[in-house]
Amino acid sequence: MPYFWLAILGWLTYFILKRSVPPLTGGQLGLLWLVMMSPSLLWMGWTLTNPNEPIPPTLVFGSFMICSFLYLLMVRNWRGTLPTKNRDAEDSSGNSNPPGQASNAGKAAAAIAANRDRPKPKPPLNNDEEAQLRQCFSWTTFVLNKIEYRLQAVVCQGQLRGEADQVYGTIQKNVKGRFGDRFLVLLQEDFQGKPFFALVPNPQVSPKLKKLVNPTYRYGLASSLLLLTLLTTTLIGTGLAGVPVESIESIIQSPELLLNGLPYAIPLILILGFHESGHFFAARHYKLKTTLPYFIPIPFLLGTFGAFVQIRSPMPNRKTLFDVGIAGPLAGLVVALPLLFWGVHHSQIVPLQEQTSFLNFAALNPRISILMTLLGRGLLGSELTTSSAIALHPVAIAGYLGILVTALNLMPIGQLDGGHMVHAMFGQRGGAMIGQVTRILVICLALLQRDLLIWAFMLLLIPAMDEPALNDVSELDDRRDGLGLAALAMLLLIILPVPPALANLLL
């Protein structure tokens, strides 16, 4: 079984690296994959050679920090430097200060960055067009000091005069009036916190990039994946209900056996479907291009790897980023919590086993989660003590998995839902710092909850910095900030174990 999980982790690592880092050669990608897999290989080796001893903290943190440093160093060196062309005077040292993430803003800029190794790119504007661009700015909106070129991006540095929302709307309108839909207008902040504008080619009108943001709804594919996931989760649910399916022939002879798996399969699919539909309809509300929700069926483990939607349009501002990001977890919790309530109420109390796990559905230790402890005490009464566990009803298993999936998505890292939220709440740099701290805290928590090690591995692979919105300067209102803090509080209730002092009071 450890080798199976290691193989799954290796596949996920390769998949995430291939999608997260710039185009690399086969050798570079393989070397980067080996660096990212080294901590898990070392930890697995220690576990196999010392089965009765815990992994030393120095080995956990040492391998994590060293491999993280090597990963960042390798990616930075392979990315190289972006060629620039500045038509204005440079500073006294002869070097112009790059504004940070201008070439990585949005999906279009990410596609442009993939071609960064091409020497001496042609500036996207000629002299007449640059003069027209300068007329888009004024001293009452944005005092333009300098124009620089980053590949096909045009970076405009200066001083912001006025509210970011109003200034962005004015500049965007001016640019569209002179250049039509040729460019996307971005308002970003550099590493010194100074706002700057950037113009990148609009994928809607670029033949090379149009396919990146012009999805077509593939109803047949989405429906087929949904039906396959219903089948695989039903098979797994049948086993969880105590009616294991020995072979395909037994199902053909007695198809009614599958009815035992529906109390697990249907609630789980509803939770995952509502979660992704929350993202889908929030994106459609803001007129963003997105794919349909796609389920991922697997014939083992839980029956599914979840579901996903892909949003192909850049986020217009941080408010939209927050609303789309939090819509999924909220929609999922609306379904998961009532199902979990009902399922726990119909679950049974059993003796506590020595080995506890997040996925021990036959004897789940409620103290593994503050939320599960509160639910167990409130729904099962005083019979639930510190020496007892909960044998989860199939509906409770689905609801429980739903809140675990929600917790994973609420992790404030990178392009996870929680990463979008903290980015929108605290800015791109603030969100990246929170993501780095979260990674370290999850590693620390994994020393107490070994089941979280797989989460720690996955979070290590996700880039800490989220992609910026077009207007990445305007801040959120108090209502959204409060809602975001409440969602992060729910994350803590789900993943944190119950402190002993609190356990004595509740159980």
> Model confidence over 291-315: pLDDT tens digits?
899 998 887 778 888 888 988 888 9
Contact call for residues 466 and 420 (beta carbons, < 8 A): yes
* Total number of domains in the chain: 4
Among the candidates 267, 298, 313, a domain finishes at: 313
Residue 13, helix vs strand vs coil: helix
Task: Name the nearest CA neighbour of 463 among 420, 405, 403.
Answer: 420
In a domain, 328, yes or no: no
Task: Name the nearest CA neighbour of 444 among 432, 452, 435.
Answer: 452
Q: In terms of domains, do 354 and 482 share one? A: yes
Q: In terms of domains, do 367 and 501 share one? A: yes
Task: Name the nearest CA neighbour of 457 among 28, 33, 78.
Answer: 33
In a domain, 166, yes or no: yes
Count CB-CB contacts under 10 A for residue 190.
Answer: 17
In a domain, 28, yes or no: yes
Query: How many percent of the chain have pLDDT more than 70?
Result: 78
Q: In terms of domains, do 120 and 53 share one? A: no
- The DSSP code sequence of 141-172 is TEEEEEEEEETTEEEEEEEE-S-HHHHHHHHH
Q: How far apart are CA 420 and CA 325, in angstroms?
A: 6
Q: In terms of domains, do 379 and 507 share one? A: yes
Q: In terms of domains, do 402 and 488 share one? A: yes
In a domain, 323, yes or no: no
CA 418 to chain centre: 7
In a domain, 325, yes or no: no
Among 8-17, 131-140, 262-271, 314-323, name the one with the lowest average pLDDT.
8-17
- Tell me the pLDDT tens digit for each residue of 392-425: 999 999 999 999 999 999 999 988 999 999 999 9
Q: In terms of domains, do 19 and 49 share one? A: yes
Q: In terms of domains, do 296 and 355 share one? A: no
- The DSSP code sequence of 320-367 is HHHHHHHHHHHHHHHHHHHHHHHHHHT-EEEEPPSS--TT-TTSB-GG
What is the arithmetic mean of pLDDT over 45-71?
A: 71
Q: In terms of domains, do 199 and 94 share one? A: yes
- Tell me the pLDDT tens digit for each residue of 81-138: 333 343 333 333 333 333 333 334 444 444 444 444 444 556 778 889 989 999 999 9
Give residue 298's pLDDT. 81
Give residue 397's pLDDT. 93
Q: Is the dihedral of CA 277, 278, 283, 286 positive or negative?
A: positive
What is the arithmetic mean of pLDDT over 313-329?
A: 93
Q: In terms of domains, do 379 and 397 share one? A: yes
Among the candidates 79, 102, 133, a domain finishes at: 79
Q: In terms of domains, do 481 and 369 share one? A: yes
Mean pLDDT of the chain: 80
What is the arithmetic mean of pLDDT over 361-365?
A: 87
Among the candidates 43, 58, 79, a domain finishes at: 79
In a domain, 337, yes or no: no
Residue 92, helix vs strand vs coil: coil
In a domain, 98, yes or no: yes
Q: In terms of domains, do 369 and 435 share one? A: yes
Confidence of residue 377 (pLDDT cuts 50, 70, 90): confident
Phi, psi dihedrals of residue 89, rounded to the nearest 5°? -70, 140
Query: How many percent of the chain have pLDDT more than 90?
Result: 35
Range of the domain at 65: 2-79
Q: In terms of domains, do 491 and 355 share one? A: yes
Give residue 301's pLDDT. 75
Give residue 297's pLDDT. 87
Contact call for residues 147 and 169 (beta carbons, < 8 A): no
In a domain, 329, yes or no: no
